[in-house]
Amino acid sequence: MVTPRKHASKLLAALAVLAAGLPFALAGPAVAEPDTPPVQPALQFPIPPMPPGFDPAFYRPAPETYADLAPGQIIAARQVHVANLSLIPVNVDSWQLSYRSTNTRGEPIAAVATVLKPRGHVADRPLFSYQIAEDSTGNYCMPSYQLQMGSIPATLTGSILVAAQFLEVQAALAQGWAVVVPDHQGPDSAYAAGPLAGRITLDGIRAATNFDPMELSGNATRVGLMGYSGGAIATGHAAELKRSYAPELNVVGVAEGGIPADLSAALKMANGNLSAGLIFAGALGVSREYPELRNFLDTNMNGLGKLMMAAKEQLCASYQSIFFPFADNIGMLAKNPFTDPTVTAVLDKTKMGKAVPDMPMFMFQANPDWLIPVGPVNDLVAYYAQDPNARVEYIRDHFSEHLTLDPIGAPRALLWLRDRFAGKPVAPGVTTTDVGSMMLDPATWRVWSDTVGTTLAAVFQQPIGSGR
């Protein structure tokens, strides 16, 4: 019997064989050093990339091929073409890296990241690690797939956040920075499993800094991290884990906003509200990394809840949001999850505030955020403030809400990271500033105007960030 998945795989394979055309006028295959895996050439137009589920050799290689590798060591590499909305090519050097990472049980896993840099060589180029808010449970929603030319467009898949936040990646490339974008949810799309995402993010940085074609400075590379909302889950946990998990990395600053510091609080606030569908998907994602939570859900969900779980097993963020809003998530369970010791133990593991980051932090949050409550963020900042060596700048925006604060706050975060890359010192201490709107800061206005210009230039295949 031919299953739909096998049939689709055969169709895609046939297309790859029959398709013909000229390659884009982009850089040729990178030449690897002997200690680097051979870099596969990019697909020629119009051959489309395979979704991760149909590309197991790269996304899910045999465990014996990487079990003995060190965290961050590269398993495979290939050149790719990246594009806005899967259609408009972006004129930068770009590759995908498959690398060894570690799950929360200490077991080796394979992870994937997209690495990009402006054309040409620049000595001592910094690296910007951007964690996109994937917020999805389907592997076709992964940034590494969605950012490629010829992928199924975000307007169809529902990966609108990936497409939108790729503009922030391009703003960083326009500064002349190299970029790494990890698929931080891992091979099982474990949305909201923060400790896993933090490890994958740090190992993605390790892989990028040691990938020869990126022309970086290894462990001496200045690294900055940034993420918003679901991307802040990975960013915040990476910041807290860095000292113990990847102490050799030269992380000079971390910027995060819309911070899900406590998934438990977000789940409680979402119950019966507009965000119920998206936040429940987070619980489903966490259960993929913590089987004990999945067992609780399978055992205690009523019929409607099990239908909801089945519907959300393979969806990207936009569809996660519009399916089952205002649902009574707790009412679909036979037991209150917030009083069950198994559930509370898992949720505690995903909570931020386990360690104080050893690098400067820039944090911003909308006070009237309807998706991610501000209270746990205030508590997290207060926890960091107990350490006299903490260096945190925290801004609370009283006019914006969750969706609007991302584009409003991103320019300020990028400018803050630019100062960190420039070596401007940050004095110890934690400051909290309340503002009407971060949009009123005129220093940030040029960032987005430049980004619009960069995006328009990309339409005409102008190189981004070259010569910076």
Which positions ≥6 away from 265 have C-beta within 8 Å? Answer: 373, 375, 376
Which positions ≥6 away from 70 have C-beta within 8 Å? Answer: 100
The single-letter DSSP state of residue 52 is: G
**What does the block give as tokens for 256?**
């995060």
244 class by beta-carbon count within 10 Å (0-12 exposed, 13-18 middle, 19+ buried):
exposed
Regarding beta strands 361-366 and 391-397, do their DSSP bridges make them parallel or antiparallel, or are they unpaired?
Answer: parallel
Phi, psi of 326 (to 5 degrees): 65, 15
Q: Provide the annotated active-site residues.
A: 229, 369, 402
**Orientation of helix 160-174 relative to helix 402-421, angle to 10°:** 20
Torsion of CA 305, 307, 313, 319, to 10 degrees: -90
118 upstream amide cis, omega within 30 of 0? no
| Secondary structure (DSSP) of 70-104 | PTT-EEEEEE--BEETTTEE-BSEEEEEEEEEE-T
